[in-house]
Homo-oligomer: A and B are copies of this chain.
Amino acid sequence: MNRIFFILVAAGVPLSVIGSLMHWPSAVLFAVYCVTIIALASYMGRATESLSIIAGPRIGGLLNATFGNAVELIISLFALKEGLTGIVLASLTGSVLGNLLLVAGLSFFVGGLKYKRQEFNIHDARHNSGLLIFAIIVAFVIPEVFSVGMGNASKLNLSIGISIIMILLYVAALYFKLVTHRGVYQPNNAAQTEEEEEPEWSGKVATIVLFAATIVVAYISENLVHTFHSVAEQFGWSELFIGVIIVAIVGNAAEHASAIIMAFKNKMDIAVEIAVGSTLQIAMFVAPVLVICSIFFPTSMPLVFTLPELVAMVSAVLLMIAISNDGDSNWFEGATLLAAYVIMAIGFFLL
């Protein structure tokens, strides 16, 4: 498997560069870019696994989510610069739905085919439930409902106020998890299992691979954004569908790869940490940063989604909480999450 990805990267990266210089047809470029990004993502997955063996599941999961979302942040900044606020909000929605339903769904399903029941830290799951409700059901819903009766200036002020509070709370969450309450909510048997395994790469190599892959992915993603218009026209896809489904799947390829590998190795803590951790990072860090950055661009971006996007995210959060709150997963719960994702994809396709 690793050899295939190596070939894909070795061929994909140069083709991407040549293709974009020689202006190949958009559809071809679109395909080459997507395959290359997914291949690079597998390297990010293997680097994450090494780092989580060395530094523990939480830091491993956090690093993976951070590098994965770095790609997302970079793509979105390019799109914001060109005033594509609609696609940026759609791709944020896509990341939330993609991580909560597709990544978690595939992890539960694939892991569930091999193991009857899989367990993960119930305290982390409930800690995450509270934050998911805060980020999506408070911080995304309030501006949507309150801004109905507001002028644009107030709408932006409200979004900025909320963004600042979210970033502060996100930093507080890291401080809580990694400093004041580090190990407080860990089940006692957690420590030993990690020591016996040998990491594939050393800490240094893994971080370099993760970093390099992120840079290349960012470069390719930037070109990918330019193919959207023509690809949309050619395939008859709406901007909303591209943002919510296509960009999100490609942008989250790293998380997808790592989470499924971890689930298949019965390391559910890392898989859930990647899926939910990434969602929280998108909602409580990437989205607010984009709102604040947008003040310096020609078109500012208030934190106001379309109603279908908001309702899809709220129902995805409620479904994920109901399914993950008992710290126990099986193949059927994965199938339920995937079924919800397919329903939403059909909805956005027909919109």
Q: How many copies does the complex hold?
A: 3
Closest to A326 in B: B126
Whether A315 and B146, one on each chain, are in contact in the complex, defined by CB atoms closer than 8 angstroms, is no
Q: In the bound complex, how far is the Cα of B134 from the Cα of A80, in angstroms?
A: 34
A176 to chain B, nearest CB (A): 4
Q: In the bound complex, how far is the Cα of B311 from the Cα of A316, in angstroms?
A: 17
Whether B161 and A130, one on each chain, are in contact in the complex, defined by CB atoms closer than 8 angstroms, is no
Whether A319 and B176, one on each chain, are in contact in the complex, defined by CB atoms closer than 8 angstroms, is no
Closest to A321 in B: B322
Whether B129 and A322, one on each chain, are in contact in the complex, defined by CB atoms closer than 8 angstroms, is yes
A171 to chain B, nearest CB (A): 11
A158 touches which one: B129, B131, B346 (CB < 8 A)? B346
Whether A137 and B319, one on each chain, are in contact in the complex, defined by CB atoms closer than 8 angstroms, is yes
Whether, in the assembled complex, A169 has its beta carbon less than 8 Å from a beta carbon of chain B, the answer is yes
Q: In the bound complex, how far is the Cα of B169 from the Cα of A107, in angstroms?
A: 18
Whether, in the assembled complex, A184 has its beta carbon less than 8 Å from a beta carbon of chain B, the answer is yes
A114 to chain B, nearest CB (A): 13
- Which range contains the number of A residues in contact with the other chain? 35 or more
Whether, in the assembled complex, A10 has its beta carbon less than 8 Å from a beta carbon of chain B, the answer is no
Closest to A162 in B: B343
Whether B339 and A169, one on each chain, are in contact in the complex, defined by CB atoms closer than 8 angstroms, is yes
A100 to chain B, nearest CB (A): 12
Q: In the bound complex, how far is the Cα of B166 from the Cα of A133, in angstroms?
A: 26
Within 8 A of B (CB), among A320-351: 321-323, 325-326, 328, 330-333, 335-336, 339-340, 342-344, 346-348, 350-351
Whether, in the assembled complex, A28 has its beta carbon less than 8 Å from a beta carbon of chain B, the answer is no
Whether A169 and B335, one on each chain, are in contact in the complex, defined by CB atoms closer than 8 angstroms, is yes
Q: What are the interface flags for A21-40 relative to B under an 8 Å C-beta threshold, 1 for contact and 0 otherwise?
A: 00000000000000000000
A336 touches which one: B169, B335, B339 (CB < 8 A)? B169
Complex contacts, A332 vs chain B, CB 8 Å? 127, 172-173, 176, 180-181
Closest to A347 in B: B146
Stretch at the interface among A64-72, A147-155, A197-205: A147-155
A228 to chain B, nearest CB (A): 21
Q: Which 7 A-B residue pairs are closest in the complex by CB-CB distance?
A: A176-B332, A146-B347, A161-B346, A154-B350, A145-B311, A130-B323, A130-B322
Supplied contacts A145-B307, A148-B307, A150-B350, 12 more A-B pairs, CB within 8 Å: A116-B184, A126-B325, A126-B326, A133-B318, A139-B343, A142-B311, A143-B347, A146-B347, A150-B351, A157-B350, A162-B343, A176-B332
